[in-house]
């Protein structure tokens, strides 16, 4: 295992709804060659918690943001400054998750989601940090917002997290500072579209994640997910694209450092 090194680029472990502790997560992760994790905030209070937790563990980093499904609660005149301030923290290496989700009809209205997304992008670029994008059933609109943003900011960069296989997005990232992160669902039997995208994802743009506590990869499908399990996704990807596992883990490590600019671990 010495030559294998995984990072879970997207998990929600600071507020585990099953009561598991960070120590448990880290111990399990070490056993599986997973040595770093980015824990992701979903609203302001949750993001504060992510930052507070990350401060106590080397190799645990935080992202702060407002998830599109909670866009309704955003009050620009108060919340912009709160997120701006929080994102200054040195353990905060990205802003998110943020983005657009038009999957459910009763999701917050599009205009509101776009307002929040644009403000999160603004905060990220002003701190020169990448964004963690949640985009579901919204590829074209996500790209529209990003294209408007890149006219304003020269340092726009980010990760499409839990990638949904959009060919439009895969085409769009070419020549831009954007990465594609695959979650455990790429291992699911029904996910041919994700594997189709995986084969076409440039190696220097590839990342993997768990999105814990859900979406555990095969062979842990249906179980409570945790950062350790990103190793199964790594193994799956290496077999699927026919690349040696150590070689893949080295490439993913390079990619992570390129986008995030940090390298601490809990190893």
3-state secondary structure the chain: CCCCCEEEEEECCCCCCCCCCHHHHHHHHHHCCEEEEEEECCCHHHHHHHHHHHCCCCCEEEEECCCHHHHHHCCHHHHHHHHHHHCCCCCEEEEEEEEEECCCCCCCCHHHHHHHHHHHHHHHHHCCCCEEEEEECCHHHHHHHHHHHHHHCCCCCEEECCCCCCHHHHHHCCCCCEEEEECHHHHCCCCHHHHHHHHCCCHHHEEECCCECCCCCCCCCCCCCCHHHHHHHHHHHHHHCCCCHHHHHHHHHHHHHHHHCCCCCCC
Find the shortest distance in angstroms from Cβ 40 to Zn ion: 5
Backbone phi, then psi, for 166, in 5-degree steps? Answer: -65, 120
8 vs 119, beta carbon nearer Zn ion: 8
101 vs 211, beta carbon nearer Zn ion: 211
43 vs 211, beta carbon nearer Zn ion: 211
Residue tagged 């296989």 (tokens): 165
User: Under rule CB under 5 A, how many of the chain's residues touch Zn ion?
Assistant: 1
Find the shortest distance in angstroms from Cβ 242 to Zn ion: 29
Find the shortest distance in angstroms from Cβ 223 to Zn ion: 18
Per-residue binding string, Zn ion, 101-130, x by CB under 5 A, is ------------------------------
Find the shortest distance in angstroms from Cβ 246 to Zn ion: 28
119 vs 211, beta carbon nearer Zn ion: 211
The two structure tokens encoding residue 137: 């059933």
Find the shortest distance in angstroms from Cβ 125 to Zn ion: 21
Find the shortest distance in angstroms from Cβ 215 to Zn ion: 9
Under rule CB under 5 A, which residues in 29-68 are in contact with Zn ion?
none
Under rule CB under 5 A, which residues in 152-211 are in contact with Zn ion?
211
Under rule CB under 5 A, which residues in 208-237 are in contact with Zn ion?
211
164 vs 211, beta carbon nearer Zn ion: 211
50 vs 173, beta carbon nearer Zn ion: 50
Binding site for Zn ion (CB under 5 A): 211
């Amino acid at each position: 295992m010495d030559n294998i090194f995984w990072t879970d680029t997207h998990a929600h472990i600071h507020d585990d709804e099953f009561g598991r502790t960070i120590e448990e997560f880290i111990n399990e992760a070490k056993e599986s060659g997973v040595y770093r994790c980015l824990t992701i905030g979903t609203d302001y209070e949750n993001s504060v918690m992510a930052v507070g937790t990350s401060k106590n563990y080397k190799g645990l980093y935080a992202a702060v943001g407002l998830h599109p499904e909670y866009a309704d609660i955003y009050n620009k005149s108060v919340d912009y400054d709160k997120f701006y301030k929080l994102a200054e923290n040195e353990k905060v290496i990205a802003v998110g998750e943020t983005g657009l989700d038009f999957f459910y009809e009763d999701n917050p209205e599009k205009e509101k989601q776009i307002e929040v997304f644009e403000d999160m992008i603004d905060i990220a670029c002003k701190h020169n940090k990448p964004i963690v994008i949640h985009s579901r059933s919204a590829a074209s609109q996500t790209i529209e917002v990003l294209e408007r943003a890149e006219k304003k900011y020269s340092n726009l960069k980010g990760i499409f997290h839990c990638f949904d296989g959009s060919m439009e997005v895969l085409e769009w990232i070419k020549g831009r500072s954007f990465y594609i992160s695959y979650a455990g669902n790429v291992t699911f039997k029904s996910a041919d579209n994700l594997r189709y995208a995986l084969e076409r994802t440039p190696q220097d743009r590839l990342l993997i994640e768990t999105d814990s506590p859900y979406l555990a990869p095969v062979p842990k499908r249906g179980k409570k997910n945790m950062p350790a399990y990103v190793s199964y996704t790594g193994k799956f990807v290496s077999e699927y694209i026919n690349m040696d596992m150590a070689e893949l883990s080295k490439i993913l490590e390079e990619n992570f450092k390129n986008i995030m600019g940090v390298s601490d671990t809990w190893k």
